[in-house]
Amino acid sequence: MIPKKLSILRELYKGFDAELIETDPISSQLIKYLANTYLPLRLSFVNEAARLIDHSNGNQVDVLKGVGLDSRIGSHYFRPSPAWGGSCFPKDLIEVNNFYKEGEVMLPIISNIIESNDIQTKWTVNKLTSILSNENINSVLLIGAAFKEDTDDLRNSPTLDIYKMLIQKDVNTFIYDEMVELAEYNSVDNLDDISDKTLVVLMYPIKKALMEKIETILTETNSILYTPW
């Protein structure tokens, strides 16, 4: 006899053109958690790859494009970033690592994904401070406050983490975001107010209209643009 709850779920999803997997509660949990484990693993891998490319003076665009052309790997979700964030990945990674006790099962890759991301955040801060020193620039403008593009979600935002680290290093740091109010941070409401030479950092890809505004600032103030990807 089919359980009542399963019958309700079958009825709920019958209109979707998708494969349905009927499984036990533990397996259902692990499907969700491991999907949200693989994705930050992939993001962490490409960030580590970007650090290696930078250290080796390679061409990041060429290397990652070449690797992504392998059909077994692909280019989707294969873009470097200052770090990954959001609400789902950190939470589910913690839950995955709570499925076992230390010493019961060895998961060296899964257990170190968060640490790899923390290293990427610190590496990005060091990269920015190095550029500031080499170019004799005193200010940083982080473009994009949310944890990814096209959202106003600030939960576990790499931008805010990097902002705080830069402030601790006494770097004159500002944030600009068209979708988010940033009362608690040094924010820029109007890009036209940028008049001094600045290191402009794109935290993630932005729309064409905003990029055109930034290009004007770069020209008029002799500022420098840094993109992690």
Catalytic amino acids? Answer: 88
**CA 81, 82, 84, 85 torsion: positive or negative?**
negative
Amino acid identity at 33: Y
CA distance 47 to 17: 35
Secondary structure, 3-state, the chain: CCCHHHHHHHHHHCCCCCCCCCCCHHHHHHHHHHHHHHHHHHHHHHHHHHHHHHHCCCCHHHHHHHHHCCCCCCCCCCCCCCCCCCCHHHHHHHHHHCCCCCCCCCCCCHHHHHHHHHHHHHHHHHHHHHHHHHHCCCEEEEECCCCCCCCCCCCCCHHHHHHHHHHHCCCEEEEECCCCCCCCCCECCCHHHCCCCEEEEECCCCCHHHHHHHHHHHHHHCCEEECCC
From the list 165, 94, 154, the residue with the least C-alpha distance to 123 is: 165
